[in-house]
Structure 1
């Protein structure tokens, strides 16, 4: 299923950001150490480039999986080269499984998020005109009611005749 091109920038951002996080996590779960600051910056640059490429091509499940797999492979290579750590074979089975699992989880998450945001946008497109129509008020014909104040008998506080009980207390004897 191909999704509208309007969601392509969002898809690219999500793929790039998710690839950074999931690649670092999969690399750590696979037995390597967490990336250093320089490796994290290099990984961010690589995954940003992949996210940008994803945002420029039409979407599809197979393209999404390929992009996420490329992000995992290039991310693994970046972390290995920049940090200079060697963890036995270039990709031991535990790390390969972590990266493959990251591709699967990432593909499901990105595809689900994209479908969800499209459904939410369609719902808002249907609901928003109704909400705005109900909220619209014609200010030329609708005026607020003026309060009517009627005083038939003067209230005790408004009695200004001087015969009231207000004043200083009487002298004590």
Structure 2
């Protein structure tokens, strides 16, 4: 499923935000502790970069899975380097399984969100003309809430025509 260029930034933002949450959860479920504040900020920076990449490249399912796998890999390395975990730089089986499941969950969530947004946009495209036609206002019968008092004044903010009130008072002339 290809994503229109107008929704590419939305897709990138969803992929970035989802990657942060799912990477941290997978890392925790894989046997490591929840990330510290500095590790969470570093993970956020990495996943924002992945989201930006997704928003600037043409969409496709394969590219989405590759981007989510890259986010999981880079996120795992970031959390390992910043926090340092019991398994070192290598993945053990529960950690690898948790990150692989996270890629699948992320792909299903992003794909479902895209389909939901497309369905919502189609529904709005059908419903909105009907709602706007029913809610049309007859401008001939609409009156202002308060009477309009017009002041006979020049249209300019400052009257520079020479007919103003400059000069001394009349009795001093």
Instruction: Report the TM-score range of the alignment, normalised by the length of the smaller protein.
Output: 0.7 to 0.9
User: Which TM-score applies when normalising by structure 1?
Assistant: 0.79
- Write out per-residue CA displacement over residues 71-95 of structure 1, whole angstroms, 9 at most, x where no aligned residue: 0000000000011223256100110
Alignment map for 1:17-56 (pairs within 5 Å)? 17-56=17-56
Q: Does the C-alpha gap of structure 1 residues 39 and 89 become closer, same or farther in structure 2, counting only changes over 3 Å?
A: closer
Task: Give unmatched runs, 5+ long, in structure 2.
Answer: 144-173
Runs of 4+ in 1 over 2 A off after TM superposition: none
User: Which TM-score applies when normalising by structure 2?
Assistant: 0.79
Q: How far apart are 1:142 and its partner, in Å?
A: 7.3
| 2:12 paired with 1:12 | yes
Task: Give unmatched runs, 5+ long, in structure 1.
Answer: 144-173
Q: How far apart are 1:70 and its partner, in Å?
A: 0.1
What is the CA–CA distance in structure 2 between the aligned matches of 1:122 and 1:73, rounded to whole Å?
A: 36
Q: What residue is the counterpart of 1:81 in the other structure?
A: 81
Q: How far apart are 1:58 and its partner, in Å?
A: 1.3
Greater mean alpha carbon deviation, residues 60-69 or residues 116-125: 116-125
